[in-house]
Structure 1
Amino acid sequence: MTVTTDVAQGAEPQCPECGTPVTGGGRYVAWCAACEWNVDPEVRDEESPGRIERMRRGLARRYGEQLFDELGAADRDGDRDRDTGSDGHDGGDGDGGRTDGAAAGRRPRRGAAGALATALALTVHGVTLAMLAVGVWLVVAGWGTSALPVLGGFLLLVAFVLRPRFDSLAKVEDRLPVLRRDDAPKLFALLDEVAASAGTTGVRAVVIDADTNASVSAYGIRQHRVLHLGLGLWQTLSPQERIALLGHEFGHYAHGDTRHSLVVGNAFRSLSTWRYALASEPADSLMGHFVNLVTALPRLLVEGVVVLLDQLTLRGSQRAEYLADSTAARAAGTEAAAGLMDRLLVSDGVTGELRREAVAARTRIGGARRDDPAEGLWERLAAHAASVPEHEYERLRRVAERRGHSVDSTHPPTHLRHRRLTGGERREALIVLDAPRAAEVDAELADARRVIAREVVRG
């Protein structure tokens, strides 16, 4: 049960475990900072993960801890090299941390695991290509003589479903605002500057939505980059935290995350299709038992390939996350990068606030402002995020450490990411987003903000 200080009006509430005055209260959880009583009162109703998922989570935590120690040692070695005037391991970019060498413009090394992952992914695509070739041969060679063309047609259909996919920006433009350089020159100049600080290039387009998230991905055969900017996150950040967010996302490209490359990413997508097609049928009939028996071997084979490809890319993906955090700190400064990490801890609350705004608009709760419920939506959201007190952030940090929280298993534990940012030498920002420039960028986003605000209140 969640406990708040509302139950003890008129007297300073005491911790029932150690007698220390409790922290928090009101609409926030009341908890004890001394003994951590009630620090995590939420009852979580989660399905028990399967054996493979449990192994994956355990390995992810272990990799996260190992990389935290390894990268911390590398940072300290880099600091010593800088202090003594040595060139260090990476040629010295003046960054103070040799693990962020991609910011100096060098292409990141893929490593043995990355090379094996790419080879395995190419094998997966090779199977698809082989099915295409055999399908064409069966159709051509057996045309009009046997049932071979039917089998060939089936193989062609499967190969078509498993083909590598190239995301299309045109489909996104039908439902979301998409900005290009001519639409928002100030925004794109800022993106180019942040990308350059990370040692990579900018984007061709910016997609605006209401998510409490952001990402950089690629679209089309030529793999042009696009920034997906979630206003649910962007609008709650300070100007410097926005620089940190952009630095982190561009850092993924600077440090070479094999998992999200075109070849490996499409292999995961093909394997996911295979897993769906070969999934076990309910064993409530003779036919169901027969199908499960026939598909058992290929299903196990596909599961094995998924697990192997996952393990080959998991450590590298977590390393890329740590280094993307370093890139964020390099661009925006340590304080802003750590602030961004805290903002992510309250993202669920921000998402809930957006839902409440939508419900209030539909039920006409809230008085006169409901005449135009979209007006001022983002300002209200920013005010909500700004009202979260420091003691709630501290509680959430401790909860994250207790739960071993991470965004997902491709991310290191959140508390380790925060500790790595705040535990080393503090960095000053390379890029400062001052008030006039931030206002210019906001002005270019104004139309998109109005469009998305209306979509939010419509539910």
Structure 2
Amino acid sequence: MDPGTPQQEWDRLDRARRALARRHGEKLLAEVRGGGNLRARRDASSLLAFAIALLVHGATMALAFGGIWWLVRGWGGAGMVPGVILLAIAWFLRPRVVQLPEEGPILRRSDAPELFALVDEVAQVVGTRGVDLITADAELNASVTTCGVRGRRLLVLGLPLWEILTPQQRIALLGHELAHYSNGDTRHGLVVKTAYRSLTTWRYVLLPVRNPSFVEMVGNLLCIAPNLLVLGLLTLLEHLTLRATQRAEYLADREAARAASTEAAVGLMDWLLVSDSAVVALQREANQAALAGPRGSRTANAGAEELWERLRAHMASIPEYEYERQRRVGSRRGHSVDTTHPPTHLRSSCLLVGEPAPAAVVMDAGRERRIAAELAAARVNVAQRIVREGFNGYGSAQ
């Protein structure tokens, strides 16, 4: 039933994350199935996480101000050296905002008015505003983020996932992603998110060097205390935000059902259960093109649209017992696979608790054709990249 059980070795932080995910996940599941109120709220854990994030950013600012002070104090002499070092460290550890992706087309409202209108309609249903930019990539995934110093909202549509969904399931996908803006997920907030990235960077810098020389061994010893401090802060931040993060997924699923219908949201979960099959199909397409050599590249240019048709046909051929097998695999592995998302089969079962929701947004055939026309160039672009460069984009809706 489960030949692909993960056997990877986890470090201390990963073990702590998975233990917390299991504990919080089981409590949340009981709340959801019991009809509890999951609405995101600012509790003591959220406030403490925000305070820790401010402390992390404050430490970076202290390094920057210390560097400036040393530069001014030792201007023209050796005292400038500590200042330059501190400023360099502060710059390396600075909070980083998400930048626009370098690959893939960036769509603005003038490029895809019908798609943006659909996003706006779904956003209104889930209680937020639409996005400023949309991009398409080659991942079996979808996500939203805030990018740049201006805080523009970006929707990333993974076309391998988008193309296998029905029109209503696409609305459910949009509803789930946009709900992350409205459900108050602490870890998605700018202050906590950038602090989390900074701590992850610090931990990477402070990791001990393997097979060290004598000098590196001294450096490893000096980094023990800072490394433990950073590890402790990361674990604490995980503990304070993980419950809110998993709660946000259940809330986003509910909003997806409200926007597109319970049936469509459950259908989206079913596709995520068998997403491994889509990965295999796209890897096969890339491998066949690579074996064909130059002729395969010409085929990629001429028949990129056919790739999506073959992918849809492959996914439609998956028998029902494979869905059931994946549900049993998820039940066997429990909450230990993904620290931020509840298991997919549990998300699906929780959507079926209570009365099914009707669709608030309906995709008619005319709108579907217009959106397909707006994404035509992106579909060709992404299909060519998959065939030419190979496929390893793998993930689930987040």
What TM-score do you get using the length of structure 1 for normalisation?
0.80
Q: Does 1:69 align with 2:30?
A: yes
Deviation at 1:412, TM superposition (A): 1.6
SS at 1:208 equivalent? strand
Rg (Cα) greater in structure: 1
d(CA) in 1 for partners of 2:233 and 2:6? Answer: 31
Structure 2 letter corresponding to 1:332: A
Alignment of 1:71-90 (within 5 A): 71-74=32-35
SS at 1:228 equivalent? strand
Alignment of 1:5-24 (within 5 A): none
SS at 1:396 equivalent? helix
CA offsets per residue over residues 88-113 of structure 1, 9 Å max, x none?
xxxxxxxxxx646xxxxxxx532221
1:376 corresponds to: 306
Structure 2 letter corresponding to 1:298: P
SS at 2:157 equivalent? strand
- The answer on whether the counterparts of 2:305 and 2:379 sit within 8 Å (CA) in structure 1 is no
Q: Does 1:457 align with 2:387?
A: yes
d(CA) in 2 for partners of 1:348 and 1:405? Answer: 19
From 17, 36, 50, the counterpart of 2:11: 50
2:347 corresponds to: 417
Deviation at 1:374, TM superposition (A): 1.9
d(CA) in 2 for partners of 1:407 and 1:49? Answer: 12
CA offsets per residue over residues 279-326 of structure 1, 9 Å max, x none?
112254432331121111111111111111111100000110110010
Q: Does 1:109 align with 2:37?
A: no
Q: Does 1:202 align with 2:134?
A: no
2:81 corresponds to: 150
5+ residue gaps, structure 1, are: 1-38, 76-97, 101-107
d(CA) in 2 for partners of 1:377 and 1:46? Answer: 33
The answer to which structure, 1 or 2, has the higher relative contact order (CA under 8 A, 6+ apart) is: 2
Query: Relative to 1, partners in 2 of residues 1:439 and 1:57: Cα closer, same or farther, differing over 3 Å?
Result: same
- The answer on whether the counterparts of 1:179 and 1:206 sit within 8 Å (CA) in structure 2 is yes
- The answer on whether the counterparts of 1:364 and 1:370 sit within 8 Å (CA) in structure 2 is no
Query: Relative to 1, partners in 2 of residues 1:273 and 1:202: Cα closer, same or farther, differing over 3 Å?
Result: same
What is the percent sequence identity of the aligned residues? 53
Alignment of 1:209-358 (within 5 A): 209-358=137-286
1:395 corresponds to: 325
Q: Does 1:438 align with 2:344?
A: no
- The answer on whether the counterparts of 1:406 and 1:414 sit within 8 Å (CA) in structure 2 is no
What TM-score do you get using the length of structure 2 for normalisation?
0.92
From 259, 265, 287, the counterpart of 1:359: 287
- The answer on whether the counterparts of 1:61 and 1:413 sit within 8 Å (CA) in structure 2 is no
- The answer on whether the counterparts of 1:361 and 1:373 sit within 8 Å (CA) in structure 2 is no
Task: Give the aligned CA root-mean-square deviation in angstroms.
Answer: 2.0
CA offsets per residue over residues 112-164 of structure 1, 9 Å max, x none?
2111111100100000000000100100111134x321011000001111111
From 164, 167, 171, the counterpart of 2:98: 167
d(CA) in 2 for partners of 1:348 and 1:117? Answer: 35
d(CA) in 1 for partners of 2:377 and 2:75? Answer: 58
Deviation at 1:43, TM superposition (A): 4.3
Deviation at 1:436, TM superposition (A): 2.0
- The answer on whether the counterparts of 2:272 and 2:344 sit within 8 Å (CA) in structure 1 is no
Structure 1 letter corresponding to 2:96: R
Deviation at 1:251, TM superposition (A): 1.0
- The answer on whether the counterparts of 1:282 and 1:288 sit within 8 Å (CA) in structure 2 is no
- The answer on whether the counterparts of 1:407 and 1:414 sit within 8 Å (CA) in structure 2 is no
- The answer on whether the counterparts of 2:179 and 2:252 sit within 8 Å (CA) in structure 1 is yes
d(CA) in 2 for partners of 1:284 and 1:126? Answer: 32
Query: Relative to 1, partners in 2 of residues 1:112 and 1:61: Cα closer, same or farther, differing over 3 Å?
Result: same
d(CA) in 1 for partners of 2:314 and 2:243? Answer: 36
How many pairs are equivalent?
A: 386
CA offsets per residue over residues 63-99 of structure 1, 9 Å max, x none?
1121122233345xxxxxxxxxxxxxxxxxxxxxx64
- The answer on whether the counterparts of 2:18 and 2:336 sit within 8 Å (CA) in structure 1 is no
2:396 corresponds to: none
2:50 corresponds to: 118
1:140 corresponds to: 72
Of residues 444-453 and 48-57 in structure 1, the stretch that sits farther from structure 2 once superposed is 48-57
CA offsets per residue over residues 371-410 of structure 1, 9 Å max, x none?
8342411111111111112221111111111111577201
- The answer on whether the counterparts of 2:273 and 2:345 sit within 8 Å (CA) in structure 1 is no
- The answer on whether the counterparts of 2:114 and 2:371 sit within 8 Å (CA) in structure 1 is yes
Query: Relative to 1, partners in 2 of residues 1:406 and 1:248: Cα closer, same or farther, differing over 3 Å?
Result: farther
CA offsets per residue over residues 403-422 of structure 1, 9 Å max, x none?
11577201122222111012
5+ residue gaps, structure 2, are: 390-398
- The answer on whether the counterparts of 1:129 and 1:159 sit within 8 Å (CA) in structure 2 is yes
Q: Does 1:191 align with 2:119?
A: yes
- The answer on whether the counterparts of 2:141 and 2:158 sit within 8 Å (CA) in structure 1 is yes
- The answer on whether the counterparts of 2:196 and 2:234 sit within 8 Å (CA) in structure 1 is yes
SS at 2:34 equivalent? helix
- The answer on whether the counterparts of 2:33 and 2:353 sit within 8 Å (CA) in structure 1 is no
Query: Relative to 1, partners in 2 of residues 1:202 and 1:123: Cα closer, same or farther, differing over 3 Å?
Result: same
Structure that is richer in helix per residue: 2
Query: Relative to 1, partners in 2 of residues 1:353 and 1:231: Cα closer, same or farther, differing over 3 Å?
Result: same
d(CA) in 2 for partners of 1:454 and 1:208? Answer: 13
- The answer on whether the counterparts of 2:132 and 2:154 sit within 8 Å (CA) in structure 1 is yes
SS at 2:135 equivalent? strand
Query: Relative to 1, partners in 2 of residues 1:99 and 1:56: Cα closer, same or farther, differing over 3 Å?
Result: closer
d(CA) in 2 for partners of 1:364 and 1:373? Answer: 14
